[in-house]
Amino acid sequence: MSETKTGQPVRGYRREDPGSRPPYLFPDYLATRLRAPRRPLTLLPHTLTEVTGPLLGEDRVGELDHDLTRQHRGEPHGQRIVVTGRVLDGDGRPVPHTLVEVWQANAAGRYAHEVDRHPAPLDPNFSGVGRCLTDADGGYRFVTVKPGAYPWRNHHNAWRPAHIHFSLFGRAFTQRLVTQMYFPGDPLFDQDPMFNSIPDPAARQRMVARFALDATVPEWALGYRFDIVLRGRDATPTEEEDDDQ
Ligand SMILES: [Fe+2]
């Protein structure tokens, strides 16, 4: 790695297993045909300034930002769920105090977003966005409702499996990673090119949360556990930032 004009490059960044990363061009996922780079990529090494720069702090995270069921006057429709897990680095160490953000469709499969024209009902009590900071053990916890599947016109009768989008900032602002969490046993996996663009079938399974009885709240909410590994052999597959379906 050579030195750049902007500072000393940081050595030793571990690259993830290529089987856990979707290719830029995956023809069955139509949008990649337009946006995949046609020329070789230019590597811009991280410098010390970028890696040691400030992270978003707790002053940006509100008390109820982690609870998507309590951000409005009433409760949203749908199956109430708890989604919890840990953020770990490639060596299995917890990543504390890092910002975890989520966004999702409502229980009917519609986003509260102006470009979502799926004619399913909006829910006035559900915005579908949340965030929290990991604790000292790398743990995070969200309360939300299970998102519905939605059609997305990628191909005839294309439906996205139910999913929650995740963004993580890791140990530095330049380490933002974006991925999706799926639900176990979803019958829509086989026909979803976004899910299947991850080359390694075992890596695909690392995007699927597991039902966790110990994360449920009796007589109130089901629980799912989703651990996120930022780098290394067990890394959670991540995507480019404009993968927003
Ligand atoms: Fe989505």
> Can you tell me whether residue 191 is helix, strand or coil?
helix
Q: What is the pTM of this model?
A: 0.88
234 Cα to the center of ligand 1, angstroms: 23
User: Is 46 among the catalytic positions?
Assistant: no
Q: How many CA atoms lie within 13 A of 123 on its CB side?
A: 26
| Catalytic residue (one of 21, 86, 165, 231) | 165
* Torsions phi, psi for 189 (to 5 deg): -55, -45
More confident position, 13 or 25: 25
| Catalytic residue (one of 46, 163, 204, 206) | 163
Reported as type and span, the H/E element at residue 194 is: helix 193-196
For the chain, what is the radius of gyration of the CA atoms? 19
User: Is 165 among the catalytic positions?
Assistant: yes
| Catalytic residue (one of 21, 29, 86, 150) | 150
1 Cα to the center of ligand 1, angstroms: 36
33 Cα to the center of ligand 1, angstroms: 19
146 Cα to the center of ligand 1, angstroms: 13
More confident position, 53 or 127: 127
* Torsions phi, psi for 208 (to 5 deg): -100, 120
What pLDDT is stored for residue 233 in this prediction?
Answer: 56
Tell me the percentage of the chain whose pLDDT exceeds 70.
Answer: 87
Cα separation of 79 and 9, whole Å?
47
pLDDT of 21 above 70: yes
- Burial label for 42, CB within 10 Å (0-12, 13-18, 19+), is exposed
What pLDDT is stored for residue 7 in this prediction?
Answer: 46
More confident position, 227 or 18: 227
Average pLDDT over residues 133-158: 97
Average pLDDT over residues 22-33: 95
**Per-residue pLDDT tens digits for 100-140:** 999 999 999 999 999 999 999 999 999 999 999 999 999 99
**Per-residue pLDDT tens digits for 163-204:** 999 999 876 777 788 999 999 999 999 999 999 999 999 999
Cα separation of 92 and 73, whole Å?
40
104 Cα to the center of ligand 1, angstroms: 6
Chain-centre distance for alpha carbon 44: 24
